[in-house]
Structure 1
C-alpha cells in the first residue's frame, strides 16, 4: 500500500459520534505522518547518495563561490566554521568539492608535464600537499562541531518529549474532569499553545504522542458545550483551510521535480494535522480528496526511485561483466613493448567503458569498484614490473650501441679502404649481437650508426668507380631509359608488354652510378614510370614489389656483399617484428566476444589486420629467400 493511503478497511460504523469520527481521522493522519517520515528518511538517503555521486552538478549550481586558489578556499572555510553549523553546512560542502576538484586538476597537470618530459606513467607520484593537510584539519574541526550540534539536538528532543508528556498529563486531567470544564477553556488553550511552541521530539515517540494529544484535545472540546454558532464557524473556517490544502496538493501533480513535490506534500500534511475538524457530514469527503491527491504524488515518488534502482541494477550487471573481461585478460606471456602498448590500449578502452556506466546500487557500489580496481591494478603492476626489469638491460644496450656509433664515426673519414671496411663490417656484426634499446632511442641510434657506415662506403665507391664524367653519362642514359619506359605502348599481348618492360628494368640495373646528389631524384622518376606501366598492365602489387626488389637487389649486389648482408638483416628485423604483431593480435582476439555489435566489428577489423600482416610477412620471406639464393 502507498504510504500516504489510508487503510481501505477503515470505515465509520453507523451511530458513531463526532468524537469517534474525528479520532479516526486523527489516527489515520498520524499513521500517514509516520509512514511519510519513513519514506522521507529513505528519500534523504537516496538523495544523499545522488549528491555524493554527482558533485559536479552540486558545484555548478553554486555560482557565488569563485576562488582563484586553494589558499582562498582554506581562508573561506576557516571563516565559515566559526559560524553556526546549520547556516554554513551547504557552503562548506561546496568549498570541499571545489577544493578537491582543483587538487585533482593540479595533479593531472603535473602528471601531464611528467609524461611530456619523457617520464613513464608508472613512475609518477603526486607530491604531498601541505594545503590539503590544512584543509583536512579544518574539515575535521567542522565535523566535530556538527557532531556536537547533532548531539545537542538529540538531547533537546528528549527534553521536549518530557515537556510534552507533562502537558499531556495536564490535558488528561482537564479532559477527564467532572467539574464545569468551561472554566478551563483558557487554561486548555494555553496548554495547546505551549504544546505548539515546543520543538521536535524523538521519532520513535512522535506517533504515540500525537495520538494522545489529539485524543485529549478532542475529548476536552467535546465535553464542553460550545456555542453551536461558534462551532459551525470553526467548521466552516477549517473546511476552507482544508479545501485550500487539497487544491495545493492537487496542483503538485503538475510539478516536474518529483523530490520537491514530495517534500512540499509533507509540509501540507503537517499543516493538515494542525487544523481542527470540519462538519461531520463533510469529514470523509474532504479527507478522501486530500488523500487521493497525496496518493498521486506518492506513486510518482515511488516510481521515480524504482527507476533509479532498476538503472543501478543494470549498471551493476554491466560492471560485473566488465570486471570479468579484465580479470580473464591474459597478459602473462607479453614480453615486448609493442605488445604491452597494445594490451594497455585495450585495458584503457575498458576503463573508458567503465566510466561511461553509471553507479551501481549503494550497498554493492564500493565492492564492485574494489573488484574493478584490483583487476586493473594487477595488469598495471605486471606492466610496471616488466618495465622495471627491462629498463636496466635497455640502458646497458643503449650505452653499447652509442660506443659503436662513436667508433664508426671515427672511422668514416678514413681512406684506408680495405682495412677500414673490414673494421666496419666487424662493428656491424657486433651491433647485431647487442640486444634491444629504449624505443625512443632505437631509431636515432640506428640512423646514426648506419649513416656513418653508408658515408664511408659511398666515399669508397666513389674513389673506385671512375671519373665524374662516367656518372654524368650514366645519368643521361638513365633519363633516356625513363623516357622509353614512360612512352612504352601496351600491345594486345600483355605478356609481351611485361617482358619488354622487364627488359628495360634489367637494362636500368646494368647502368652504373650517377652523381650522388641526383641519385634519389632519378630513382624516384624511374620508380614512378615503372609503377605506372605495371598499373596499366594490371600487375598486382605483390608481384610488382617483388620485381622491383629483384632489380634493386642487383643494384645492391653491385655495391658489395656488405650491402646485401645489411639488406638481409633489415628484412629479418621486419619479419620478426611482423610475426610478433601477428601473435599479439591472435592472442588478444580471443578476449573479444562477437555477441555484441561492437565486439563483432572489432573482431572483423583485427582479422583483416592479421591477414594483411601475414601477406606482408610472406612477401618479406620471399625477399629473404631471394637474397639467400643470390649470396
Structure 2
C-alpha cells in the first residue's frame, strides 16, 4: 500500500515521509486486519463442524482462491484434522477394547482426508499461480510507468512548448493513474520521481489564469468530496470496513491534481485529520480485540492448569474416576464456549489442553484395565473363602466355628469388587454357607436364649428396686441395700445380645444416681457432726490448731490417692464386661474421694472461721 496525499504539493509540503506517520499501514497490518475480522466472525456461535462441512467450505474457497483468507484456510485445516484425530482415537480405543494392542493399530484409508488434501493442493497451486501472475503484472506495470516517466522528463525539458504539451501531459497523467500496482520495492521511488516531474511541469507551465483556475477548481471539488467521504468514515460502525475504504480514498486523493497554492495545506489538513480518526478507530478496535483474545487465553490457561493438576493417585475407585470424568467433560464444554486466543498462541494452548485431556483418559483406561485384572484376582480369592465357609457349615462347634466364619466375613469385606456378572453368584454362594451354619446354631441354642430372656427380667427387677432405693434417707441402710443389689446383678448371667447395652446403661444410671445422693447426704451429715464437735471441743484454740493440722495431712493423703486412681484409669480397658465393671468401680471411688476432699476443705474452713471468731 502506497502513501496518499496531494499529488502536486511541493516536496517540502507533501513529502511521503510526513504522511507515513498518519496513514501508512504495512502489509502485515492489513493482513492482521483481515485475520482479526475472520476471528471476530468465527467467535460467533456456530453449529458444531463436521469433516463434511469443513470440506464443503474448502471446495467453495477453491472456486475463488484469490480471495480466500489464509487464516480461514489454516482454521479449516486445523478443524478438519482435529475431527480426524478424534475419529482415529475412537477407532484405536475400540481396537484396544476388543483385545488389540495399541502399537498394532493401523488406521484405514480415509477418503475424506484424501479429498481434503487434494483440494488444499489445488488451492495452493492456484494461489501460487495467481501470485506469480500478480508479480508478473506488477513488473509489466513498472515498465509502463518507467516509460511514462521518460515521457514526462522530456516534457519538463522543453519549457518553451509547455503550453502546447499540456494535453499530452494530462494524457500521461491519466495513463499513470490507470496503471495499477508495481513491485513494492520500487513503488515509493517511482512515485517520488513522478511527483517531481509533475511539479516541475506545473512550475514551467505558462497557462492562462482562466484555464489554470478552472483546473484547480475541479481538483478542489474532487478533494473536498474525498474529505467529506473520509469524515463520514469516522462515524462508520464497522471500523475494519472504514479502514479499507479509506485506503481507496487515499489513492483517489493522490491521483487527483493540485489545487491553488493557498488552499493546498488547508485541504490536505482536513483530509489528514479525518484519516487520523479512522486509523485511530481501526487501531483501537484491534487493541480491544487483542484484550478479548488475551482474556480468552487466560481462561483457557486456567482450564489447562486444572486438568494438569488432577491428583491421579487419589483416584482409586469407579466413583472417583466417574466424578472426575464429569468434571473434565464440563471443562471441555466450557472450553468450547470461549473464543479464540491470540493467533500465535491459539494452536499452542489447544494442543496443551488436548494433551492434558488425552493424558487423563489414557490414565483412566489404564485404571480400568488394572481394575479388570484385579477383579479376576478378587474372584479367585472369594472362591477360596466360599470353599472354606462350605467346609465349616456343618460344624457343631458353635463358638469356634462362629468366630471362624466371622473372620471369613471380615476377610470378604477386605477383598475388592468382582465383575458384575459374577458378583451375585459368588456372594450368594458364600452367604448361603454362612446362613446355613447360623441357622443350625440358632436351633441348637434356643434353650440358651430362653435363659437369657429370664436373666433380662431379673435385671429389670433389680433396676426397679434401685429406683425405689434412691429416695431412702437412711444412708447406711441404703448403702448396704445397694451393695446387695449390685452383688445380685453381677451373679445373673447373660441377657439377649440386642438388649445388653440398653439394660446395662439403665442399671448404671440408677446406681450412679444413688451413689451421688448417698455421698451428698453423708457429706452433709459429717459436716453437721463436725460443727457440733468443734463447738464443744475442750482445750481452746490449741485443740483447733491440732485438728486443722490433722485435716491438712488427711487432705494431702487423699489428693495423692485420687491422683493414683486417675493414673490407673488410663491403663484400663473396658473391652470386656469384667474390665467395664472395674472401670465403673474405680470411677465411683474417684467421685467419692472428690466428695470427701470437699468435706475436708469445708471442715478446715469451719476451723478457720472459729479461730477468727475467738480472736
TM-score, structure 2 length as denominator?
0.57
Q: CA deviation at 1:141?
A: 2.4
The residue that corresponds to 2:529 in the other structure is none
The residue that corresponds to 1:134 in the other structure is 115
Contact 1:249 1:265 in 2 (8 A): yes
**CA distance in 2 between partners of 1:202 and 1:215 (Å):** 20
Ranges in structure 1 where 5+ consecutive residues have no aligned partner: 7-17, 61-65, 467-508, 513-546, 552-624
Match of 1:451 among 425, 428, 431: 428
Contact 1:313 1:360 in 2 (8 A): yes
Deviation by residue 1:271-309 (Cα, 9 ceiling, x = unmatched):
111212222222222222222211112222222222233
1:85 matches 2:65: yes
Q: CA deviation at 1:203?
A: 2.0
The structure with the largest alpha-carbon Rg is 2
Contact 2:385 2:412 in 1 (8 A): no
Match of 2:380 among 370, 387, 400: 400
Contact 1:401 1:434 in 2 (8 A): no
Contact 2:4 2:253 in 1 (8 A): no
The residue that corresponds to 1:505 in the other structure is none
Deviation by residue 1:6-28 (Cα, 9 ceiling, x = unmatched):
9xxxxxxxxxxx99855455435
The residue that corresponds to 1:27 in the other structure is 15
Change (3 A) 1:97 1:309: same
**CA distance in 2 between partners of 1:246 and 1:79 (Å):** 39
**CA distance in 1 between partners of 2:147 and 2:576 (Å):** 109
The residue that corresponds to 1:295 in the other structure is 276
The residue that corresponds to 2:465 in the other structure is none
**CA distance in 1 between partners of 2:439 and 2:117 (Å):** 75
Contact 1:319 1:368 in 2 (8 A): yes
Q: CA deviation at 1:171?
A: 0.9
**CA distance in 2 between partners of 1:184 and 1:437 (Å):** 105
- Could you say what secondary structure the match of 1:225 adopts? coil
**CA distance in 2 between partners of 1:41 and 1:91 (Å):** 13
**CA distance in 1 between partners of 2:186 and 2:76 (Å):** 36
**CA distance in 1 between partners of 2:220 and 2:32 (Å):** 36
The residue that corresponds to 1:41 in the other structure is 28
Change (3 A) 1:147 1:171: same
Contact 1:164 1:198 in 2 (8 A): yes
Q: CA deviation at 1:246?
A: 1.7
Deviation by residue 1:32-75 (Cα, 9 ceiling, x = unmatched):
36864535631422542563686464977xxxxx99x9669768
**CA distance in 2 between partners of 1:72 and 1:432 (Å):** 59
**CA distance in 2 between partners of 1:548 and 1:237 (Å):** 116
1:604-623 matched pairs, under 5 angstroms? none
- Could you say what secondary structure the match of 2:182 adopts? coil
TM-score, structure 1 length as denominator?
0.56
Change (3 A) 1:21 1:146: closer
Ranges in structure 2 where 5+ consecutive residues have no aligned partner: 444-493, 503-574, 581-615
Match of 2:213 among 205, 212, 232: 232
Change (3 A) 1:453 1:387: closer
**CA distance in 2 between partners of 1:77 and 1:373 (Å):** 25
**CA distance in 2 between partners of 1:511 and 1:308 (Å):** 79
**CA distance in 2 between partners of 1:365 and 1:95 (Å):** 10
Contact 1:326 1:375 in 2 (8 A): yes
1:195-594 matched pairs, under 5 angstroms? 195-314=176-295, 331=312, 359-367=340-348, 384-388=365-369, 390-391=370-371, 393-397=373-377, 399-400=379-380, 429=408, 432=411, 441=419, 445-455=422-432
Change (3 A) 1:152 1:550: farther
Contact 2:43 2:340 in 1 (8 A): no
Q: CA deviation at 1:181?
A: 2.2
Aligned length: 468
